[in-house]
Amino acid sequence: MLILEFGIFVIWDLSFVFLIMENYIIILLCIASFFAGFVDAIVGGGGLIQTPVALILLPNVAVSSIIGSLKIPAFSGTSFAARQYLKKVDMNWKLLFIMAVVSFCSAFLGSQVLTTVSNDFMKPLLLIVLILIAIYTFTKKGFGEHQERNFSSKKQLVLALLISVVIGFYDGFIGPGTGSFLVLAFVSVLGFDFLHASANAKMVNLATNFGSICLFVLKGKIIWAIAIPMAICNALGGFLGAKLAIKKGNGFIRIFFLIVVVGTLIRFGYDVFND
């Protein structure tokens, strides 16, 4: 009888410790998600914060389940950030609708491909691209300070479709840094200033996240016990980040963008040289 009681006590004690560890992990994930939402709302790249943290804290969970679960807080934070931008920044709704539809389909396809093949071969290429982006943004002081559209509506549509296909697929297939790449595309390709680029990028990013979410839900890859609390924290970070970006304007967003690009560069560089 004593042995039985002792055994029950040990089992209960281990369960209690495990519960504490689970709560501890969720708290850390939520903190990372808050900062990810804050950064992502300003210039994108929030996935560079919460993705590596989740991979470290959940070493026994399948990578596809982690990536799928993180799409929920990413969508939540982007939604709240987009809502703040909508109050203050003009949007090209016709263009955004087309981009959203195309990027949704492209992200869905990218996530489908991710479930069947590895994406590691992309990292060296991305490392080179990020170095060029960092140099260009740093040396061109007026980059993204003003809107510059020197092409027809037809050409703008073609360029927007190309951006939607490429970056949409990237978000579904790899993920981290998508918001930053969208901001860069809106500034350098479509001629937006940083504030309008950040605002419009959020709308497209919502579509890419939703495309991936649909695929991962169908595949049963989302861990809701992690995704929901992280989504709440990411939304709060997105809300505050968007308000700060709107208040500070283009100069602040440009500097923040450069910081995030350098951070992305370091992250991919570490991945490439430590494989």
Average pLDDT over residues 5-21: 40
pLDDT at position 109 over 90: yes
pLDDT of residue 76: 93
pLDDT of residue 229: 93
| % pLDDT > 70, the chain | 76
Average pLDDT over residues 38-52: 79
Instruction: Compute the mean pLDDT over every residue in the chain, rounded to the nearest whole number.
Output: 79
d(C-alpha 270, C-alpha 8), whole Å: 46
CB 44 within 8 A of CB 186: no
Burial-class residue 145 by CB neighbours within 10 Å (0-12, 13-18, 19+).
middle
d(C-alpha 275, C-alpha 267), whole Å: 12
CB 33 within 8 A of CB 73: yes
CB 36 within 8 A of CB 81: no
For residue 123, the tally of other CB atoms under 10 A from its CB is 17
pLDDT of residue 208: 93
pLDDT tier for residue 6 given thresholds of 50, 70 and 90: very low
Average pLDDT over residues 250-262: 73
pLDDT of residue 211: 92
To the nearest 10 degrees (0 to 180), the angle between helices 2-43 and 63-88 is 40
Q: What is the chain's Cα-based Rg? A: 20
d(C-alpha 102, C-alpha 130), whole Å: 24
The residue among 139 and 31 whose pLDDT is bigger is 31
pLDDT of residue 135: 67
pTM for this prediction: 0.74
CA angle 53, 103, 239 (to 5 degrees): 50
d(C-alpha 77, C-alpha 205), whole Å: 11
pLDDT tier for residue 247 given thresholds of 50, 70 and 90: confident
